[in-house]
Amino acid sequence: MQPPHIGPNAPFFIVLNASSGSESTAEARQVIEEGLAAADRKHRIFLVDGPGRLQALAREAVERARAVGGVVVAAGGDGTINAVAQATLGSGCAFGVLPQGTFNYFSRTHGIPRDTAEALKILLAEQPRAVQVGLVNDRVFLVNASMGLYAELLEERETYKARYGRSRWIAFFAGLLTVMRGRHRHWNLRMAWRGQEKDIRTPTLFVGNNPLQLLQVGIEHADAPEQGQLAAIALKPVGALAMPGLLVRGAMGRLGRADQVLSFPFESMTVKAGPLRAPRRVKVATDGEIAWTEMPLLFRVSPEPLWLVRPDVAPELEAAKQ
């Protein structure tokens, strides 16, 4: 499979989310426009300035890029990047990232700096390289997908961020408060992969597609995404008092050492609920965005890669492996 080639005059079609991260949208836009003007590169910015606009603008950006051999660019956090990647996957277009979010796991894993001006230099200088994409019932995830408690943590974290601001510490303490409340639902799941089946009762199922995030929480199969696989992580049933300890273990990079954690790599896995009172739909989070999804869930590696404009070396990921 040949990567798309970015010509010296290829225009950029940039989807800029006005609500992502801490850097103001006006400042980010100014840096982008001045940098591209200095490089004499044509571009168009699609400003996401209201709810429900992201997907439509992402699709329009892809359509225009396909027509002229341009590059589709996501300027925002992991959720924005996810939506634009969903529209770009399979289009034949090159994909670029100008990270504006809080965690930026996707961009950090692929050597794209948080600073907009520095990220723009990479966009102007590099060519596309294949990047693995995860799918859950055909919804894209670049970092992770989850159901159960982890999805609940993400949903409630956004409430705290809206009230107190966006930072990693706020995200951590929001998660701590959520797990300390206890009384979380436990799911009876049947997971099937590689010709085998396993029944498990768990408060949450997490599927990782990002080696940097998996390394930072200390999961044994952190290299799965670099081996063409995904990493499944499920918690065995634990009491409410044990949950904060597991959260702290994850923050300290020791989650994989806990006896309550089950993890394994896979290429494709079907997850069914039940058998009693099995729900038809469940809330699933993909790269931090929550949506109702039909059961059963099919997690798999996409047969097509995302052609990401990125450097050959990702310093933060290489340092995390040491």
Per domain, the residue ranges of the chain are: 12-132+304-314, 139-301
Report pLDDT for 218: 83
Give the global pTM.
0.87
pLDDT one-digit tens code per residue, 262-273: 889 999 999 998
DSSP 8-state secondary structure symbol assigned to residue 85: H
Tell which phi-psi region holds residue 43, choosing left (phi > 0), alpha (psi between -120 and 50) or beta. beta
Distances (CA, A) of 235 to 150, 155, 177, 255: 10, 19, 18, 10
pLDDT at 103: 84
pLDDT tens, residue by residue, 250-291 = 444 455 555 578 889 999 999 998 776 678 899 999 998 889
Q: Does 160 or 216 have the greater pLDDT score?
A: 216
Backbone phi and psi for residue 92, each to the nearest 5 degrees, phi listed first: 85, 0
Instruction: Kindly tell me if the per-residue pLDDT of 18 is higher than 80.
Output: yes
The segment with the largest mean pLDDT, out of 81-90, 143-152, 198-207, is: 81-90
Contacts by 181-185 with C-beta closer than 8 Å and gap 24+?
181/240, 182/240, 182/243, 183/240, 184/148, 184/149, 184/152, 184/240, 184/243, 185/148, 185/149
Question: Using 50, 70 and 90 to split pLDDT, how confident is the model at 20?
Answer: low
Residue 126: DSSP 8-state: -
Q: Which of 31, 52, 32 shows the shortest CA–CA distance to 42?
A: 32
CATH architecture of 12-132+304-314: 3-Layer(aba) Sandwich (3.40)
Residue percentage of the chain with pLDDT more than 70: 80
Percent of the chain with pLDDT over 90: 62
d(C-alpha 126, C-alpha 3), whole Å: 12
Q: Is the pLDDT of residue 158 over 90?
A: no
Domains 12-132+304-314 and 139-301 belong to one CATH topology: no
Q: Which residue has the tokens 């970092």?
A: 143
- At residue 1 the predicted structure's pLDDT band, cuts being 50, 70 and 90, is confident
**CATH of region 139-301:** 2.60.200.40
Instruction: Quote the pLDDT of residue 43.
Output: 98
Alpha-carbon Rg for the chain, nearest whole angstrom, is 20
- How far apart CA 192 and CA 270 sit, in angstroms, is 5
Strands (E), 149-301: 187-193, 196-202, 204-208, 230-235, 261-266, 268-273, 281-286, 289-294, 297-301
Spatial contact of 93 and 308, defined as CB atoms under 8 Å apart: no
pLDDT category, 202, cuts 50, 70, 90? Answer: confident
- The pLDDT, as a whole number, for residue 262 is 85
* Identity of the amino acid at 26: A
